[in-house]
Structure 1
């Protein structure tokens, strides 16, 4: 079966780490090249690929079937819509769009042209989150009362990527780190009934919010989501508290670190967690037990893309999932501004 001819729209950090290595290794894809505005690097890393000088050059290439929209968030809607209208399937990085309205419009365009949108949420295949999912679905904790997910860092320096630091569409931590844990929460627990949020600015000279706390309300439980840049002491990134016990787990997936070091996403050791980072489960007053972590597997995202385009699978992270996450972000921003709970 013919490989899916695929082009990136950027060969920066995300292209180099999160996309190109998987497109190279998966036999169902062929990495054709990337749109590169200034630095021309993809051909050095992947001889035989092409460096495109413009978006139009990419989408006018009749051989390209799939376009990876891994550019700054403010461009996602424009670039994805152009690619769809040119007859391409698209993978769109997080945050999916700048707003729910844009996400809904992309869904409409994809429906009209008969093409797929895949929302890139690779953190569903982190070893730590897969372990949380395993414990939750096992029912060992009983009915959940509260869950808490963090994506914490310690770095008070402003990003050199100005699109992340200049106020405007897609800027701020809720668009950068927020989509990871928002998607994870929605994937496990479904859509909430209401949203409450507090967004703040904490770094010297920052013009955009860099700390958030979001509460997702469900009929019988609530979910707390938090991210910021001043968390020096490591704390559990995942906490599940149920009527029979609790589970806590650090954020420890190594895939991004290993990819950044140039390792290929393959082999028996890929995605394995260190035993020292295994989570702890406390049930019915017994001594806490270590839970062996699941194997991280970012490749599962691209395997699903392949099976959706060449087989009969449906997208693991659908356009509707992207819309649902954008609704939480929109509600959180409104909640923080108005200081009130927002109906989802």
Structure 2
């Protein structure tokens, strides 16, 4: 938000005022979110809280007449997501979900390749979000509560990217597991999304010491393989602030392989810069009536449909079709 004009961060709700003031010394800090809902000077409320609080906080904010951005996953259940969408429509409020990985450097690069037809018709798409964290940590994402585990934390990124590129699948087959000693929530997933002439593989684990490819994509005219994660999130975690001239630059380039006649040509493909600030620029324009909601609730609901279908698929060890 700070990287784009048109915003003023006015109030933050937090139980740790000292920590907030270290980064935002001029911002008002309140202990309870209800103080934000009741402030007539606030137009937009951003909800980056634990997953099981998304629904009640977003509902309260909408009922108070605020526009709302919710972190992914949208909610814990599909029914909650649909209820929020209906509420926002009835009140004429903008409701958006922060599926920020649409603005990853590697995804923007891949999206451009597909739009230009460089790979031809994609038959196989594999996407990984692997980490190496062998010890279970004492944090809500790794406990056993609603919305915990990497099926809710990491899979929404991959599901949203797959839907953005290819639309909803015909069916899906999902394996969910707890592989680490002491794990209380899902720390492994493997999902197969089936399309008429395409297979999409989405994979995530907390036990990958060796580096996995971020993307492996095979099409009728070529292939694209990319290693490494978009650097924006890590730079934000390290305390870097925008704007910066080199923001979003990914130093890990991909490899593009094409067949020209009888010859196979392999080349390094520069990765275009990522651009998380573009999301909030689009939100600003949507609130001002100058543009579309970048991630409307209807699109986030599609992700929730696959999250719930995936849970049922894993539970019954079966391939399930979308209704």
Q: Same fold (TM over 0.5)?
A: yes
Q: Give the match for residue 168 of structure 1.
A: 145
Secondary structure of residue in 2 paired with 1:270: coil
Q: Give the match for residue 243 of structure 2.
A: 266
1:182 aligns with one of 145, 159, 166: 159
For the Cα contact (< 8 Å) 2:3–2:277, is it kept in 1? Answer: no
Residue 281 of structure 1 pairs with residue 256 of structure 2: yes
**Cα distance, 1:271 vs. partner?**
1.1
**Cα distance, 1:141 vs. partner?**
1.3
**Cα distance, 1:99 vs. partner?**
1.2
**Cα distance, 1:193 vs. partner?**
1.1
**Cα distance, 1:307 vs. partner?**
0.7
Residue 226 of structure 1 pairs with residue 203 of structure 2: yes
For the Cα contact (< 8 Å) 2:173–2:320, is it kept in 1? Answer: yes
- Aligned length in residues: 319
**Alignment RMSD (CA, Å):** 1.3
Q: Aligned in 2, Cα 1:172/1:247: closer, same or farther, shift over 3 Å?
A: same
Q: Give the match for residue 217 of structure 2.
A: 240
Q: State TM-score, norm by structure 2.
A: 0.96
Q: Give the match for residue 252 of structure 1.
A: 229
Unaligned runs of 5+ in 1: 1-22
For the Cα contact (< 8 Å) 1:203–1:210, is it kept in 2? Answer: yes
**Cα distance, 1:90 vs. partner?**
0.5
**Cα distance, 1:160 vs. partner?**
2.7
Unaligned runs of 5+ in 2: none
Instruction: Give the 5 Å matches for 1:88-237.
Output: 88-161=66-139, 163-237=140-214
For the Cα contact (< 8 Å) 1:156–1:203, is it kept in 2? Answer: yes
Secondary structure of residue in 1 paired with 2:146: coil
2:274 aligns with one of 296, 310, 334: 296
For 1:25 and 1:266, the matched residues in 2 are separated by 5
Q: State TM-score, norm by structure 1.
A: 0.90
Q: Aligned in 2, Cα 1:25/1:145: closer, same or farther, shift over 3 Å?
A: closer
Secondary structure of residue in 2 paired with 1:25: coil
1:128-167 per-residue CA deviation (whole Å, 9 max, x = no partner) reads 1111111122211111111001001011122332x22332
For 1:321 and 1:149, the matched residues in 2 are separated by 20
1:254-310 per-residue CA deviation (whole Å, 9 max, x = no partner) reads 112222222222233111121xx2100111142311111111110000000001011
For 2:97 and 2:67, the matched residues in 1 are separated by 11
